[in-house]
Each structure stands twice: as structure tokens, then as C-alpha cells.
Amino acid sequence: MAERAARGQGAGESSGGATPQRRAKAAAKNGGSTKLPKKSSGSTKFAKKTIALVYDFDGTLSPRPMQEYAFLPQIGIDPAQFWAESNRVAKEHKADPLITYMHLLYKKAKEAGVRIDREDLVAQGRDVELFPGVMEWFDAIEDYTRIRAESHGIALRHYLISSGLTEIVEGTPIYHRFHNVFASEYWFDAYDMPYPKRVITDTGKTQYLFRINKGVEDLGETINEHMSEAERPIPFSNMIYFGDGDTDVPSMAVTRKNGGHAIAVHPPGKGRKKCVDLFHAGRIDFFAPADYRRGSDLFNRTCLLIDRILADIRVAEERWKVAKSAKA
Ligand SMILES: [Mg+2]
């Protein structure tokens, strides 16, 4: 696909009209993927200038699990009761908690006599609440990056990795902001009721971090092929992972252990303890209330990490130039 890299006017790649779906389709048409150029050592330009902001959804961008805004009310089930039952069933049967919730959602809908198709799930996305400032965040952080870049070709991408449902995310007003969305998904042509097509568990989330890192975002391609660090288009040091709790620990650990950055958020005015624990455990660089407005602690701390990433990119680019001239 044609890279929508920043050319002077914009560091952000997400503000245009291309949705993650359209981008995936374009990639399939080209017989390729959303791959970035590999092997910067052999090219004429330093290629590792893409910054990736990677977000969890539930509790990070939105206060509650996305199924609580429309799905559960539509089938008349109390969310607390639903999650308690889902956790109990998973524990009792030693079942995967994610598969269990995805199954139970539709089992309950069927029992209630409510049919919820793919289009209905997408429509539910409109009801999902977002934390303050999320709608403006993408432009604001892209503006900041563009102003501070001091280097041509810096691109900023937003990615979503969620155990929630792709279909609901698709209906939210921020869907088009993401370069790619990796979330759980259903087959809707299953015999009796929708069946999990893709389930993204806490540890499974890390696979998608490596897909971003290696530029292998087409889920039809294997991620396990060896790729040297030099060939990977988005180094972990160019990434910031945003999450809200225990389910993000594997992603935070993988990101930070590989030289990347992580920020935890908590609902404004409450739930700070979880973040404090993550901070003391060395899982995160910073934590802040989930207030995404310009000038908030979250905004300022993210900008601080972006400053560091931009400086690291400049150093890496200079070293790349020196290495090239040393060879000549
Ligand atoms: Mg979460």
C-alpha cells in the first residue's frame, strides 16, 4: 500500500479517510501487506522513523467493557451479573475466559430471543463512551509530534489491540484513527450461533506487538519467521503502549523489555492503586488519570516520551549515516 508518511505537513498517518479496513483491503489488492520498507542498511534513507502508539481499549480509551454499553442492555442483562457468570463458568470448566465470554454473550442473546448480527454489533459502537479528550487526542498528539520532529519523514501511527470485539470498535467514532485494529472477532456464518473467529487473550496481545514491530500486519501471514532486528521497521524503542491493568501486563512487559515505553491509565479520581502497583513493579514508565485532553498529565507525559523517541530516532539516524560512510 502507499505509505501515508508525513511530508512536512503532517506526522500523523491517521487523520485521513482511510480506515484500517480500507488499508487492509488495499494491502490485499497489492498482494502485499501494510509492510514498511525493510533492510534500512541497504536503502538510501534511514527507514525506522515510524512511531507507534498502541492502545488497549476497555478501561484505557473507554471507561467500561464495550459490551456493557449496548449489547448487554439490549438483551436485558446486568453487566456485573454477566461477568460474574462468565468468570464462574470459565473457572469451573477451566475454559479460556475470552472464549467463554464470547460464547456466553450469544448464548444469552439467544435465550432472550434477541438476534444480534454483525451490523448490529457495529451499530453498538456508537453507544460506547470514551474518556475525556479521546476524540481530540489523535490530532493533538500528531500536532505535537510534527512540531517537535526536527527531522523529515517522521510518521506517527495509532494501533489498537483489544480483547473486545472488532465489530463494536468499527462502529466507534475513533475507528478510522487507527492504522490497524487487532481485536477479537466472530464468524457469523456458524451453524447455530456466531463462533469466535479470533480471540485475543492477554498474552496473545503480544503477538500483535511483534506484528507491528516486524511490519507483518496481514493476519494471513505468519509472524514466526526469523527477522533480524535491523530488518524490523518499527523498533520497540519507537513504541508507547497504553493500558489500564493486569490484562496489559504481558504487553507492557514485552514492550519495555525490548526497549519500548508503557503508560498506565486509571479512571479520573479513582482506581489509582493498580497503576501504582504497575509502576512499582517496573511495568510502566508513567501512569496518569485517563484524561486525554491537551495539557493533562497523560498528554504531557506522553509528549515527554515522544520527545525521547524523537531524540533516539535522530541518534539512530546519525549512527546509520556514520556506519554507511565508514563502509564507503
Ligand atoms: Mg483494559
Asked if residues 6 and 12 have their Cβ atoms less than 8 Å apart, the reply is yes
252 C-alpha to ligand 1 centroid (Å): 12
324 C-alpha to ligand 1 centroid (Å): 43
Dist CA 254 CA 14 (whole Å): 25
Q: pLDDT digit string (tens) for 196-254?
A: 999 999 999 999 999 999 999 999 999 999 999 989 999 999 999 999 989 999 999 99
Q: What is the pLDDT of residue 1?
A: 32
135 C-alpha to ligand 1 centroid (Å): 18
Local mean pLDDT, 10-residue blocks, the chain (328 residues): 34 55 52 47 80 98 96 95 97 96 94 93 96 98 94 93 96 98 93 90 96 95 92 96 95 97 97 96 97 98 98 93 88
Dist CA 261 CA 49 (whole Å): 16
58 C-alpha to ligand 1 centroid (Å): 4
Q: What is the pLDDT of residue 41?
A: 47
56 C-alpha to ligand 1 centroid (Å): 6
CA 65 to chain centre: 15
Q: pLDDT digit string (tens) for 37-62?
A: 544 445 788 989 999 999 999 999 99
Percent of all residues in the chain with a pLDDT value above 90, rounded to a whole number:
81
Q: What is the pLDDT of residue 31?
A: 43
Q: What is the pLDDT of residue 32?
A: 43
Q: What is the pLDDT of residue 2?
A: 33
Dist CA 161 CA 207 (whole Å): 10
Q: What is the pLDDT of residue 3?
A: 32
Structural domains present in the chain: 20-64+130-327 (3.40.50.1000), 67-125 (no CATH)
The angle at the Cα of 292, spanning 242 to 168, to the nearest 5 degrees, equals 65
- The reported pTM is 0.89
242 C-alpha to ligand 1 centroid (Å): 9
Q: Which residue is listed with cell 494491502?
A: 27
- Check residue 138 and give left, alpha or beta (phi > 0: left; psi -120 to 50: alpha): alpha
Closest CA to 199 of 96, 116, 63: 96
